[in-house]
Amino acid sequence: MENLLENKDTQLVESAMNIIINEHIKLVHAINYDEVAALIPIITNAKQIFIMGAGRTGLMMKAAAMRLMHLGYNVHVVGETTSPAITEGDVLIAGSGSGTTGGIVNAAKTAKKVGADVVCITTNGNSPLANLSKQTVLIPAAQKQERDENVSKQYAGSLFEQSLLLVFDALIQTLWDLDGSSASELWERHANME
């Protein structure tokens, strides 16, 4: 009996993985890659890059910050104690599924006020954050409040957060290809006090 239960659990896990992967395959064909590519000159021309997101989206954005650092960019995570003031010539890259998160919208207002660029990655192209942004990357995934199983069977914005990481990784891979640095050069910037 126990072996049958384990087999059913295994099938459930495999089914869940297939649901997630198939949602991403569908999403890959719905993303406007011109919007993503438009971030390349903004990032490469920025004096400093500030990364921001809340909750699980914030965790994905921190992963993006680390990868940008590996590429040699001057990058900071908003809210960390060592993050300096944003100034003219800098860019704030904000991730927010809804584009309405108060702290992120307020940070975008501050960035614009000092002359920094704002870009966002969101599901809501008409949000306050998108309206403050020089460039918006729209990820057509369900927001965490939406329960539309035609968009995603996953819970509470998971598809957006996963897609955010994948889109940013594609952007990082492109920046790396354009830069031409070797993996060994990037490795020299990897944390060595672990």
CB 118 within 8 A of CB 111: yes
Nearest Cα to Cα of residue 42 among 92, 102, 7, 101: 92
Structure tokens at 68: 């940008």
CB 159 within 8 A of CB 27: yes
- What pLDDT is recorded for position 73? 95
Structure tokens at 128: 């306050």
Nearest Cα to Cα of residue 121 among 71, 162, 70, 177: 162
Q: Which residues pair with 122 in a beta bridge?
A: 138
Structure tokens at 86: 């944003």
- Kindly list the structural domains of the chain, giving each domain's residue range(s) and its CATH number in brackets, ordered by start: 2-187 (3.40.50.10490)
Find the catalytic residue in 149, 161, 185, 188. Answer: 161
Tens-of-pLDDT digits for all 194 residues of the chain?
A: 556 556 888 899 999 899 889 888 998 999 999 999 999 999 999 999 999 999 999 999 999 999 999 999 999 999 999 999 999 999 999 999 999 999 999 999 999 999 999 999 999 999 999 999 999 999 988 655 555 556 677 766 788 999 999 999 999 999 988 988 787 877 787 877 87
Query: Is position 149 annotated as part of the catalytic site?
Result: no
Helix (H, G, I), strand (E, B) or coil at 160: helix
Residue-wise pLDDT for 88-100, tens only, equals 999 999 999 999 9
This prediction has a pTM of 0.88
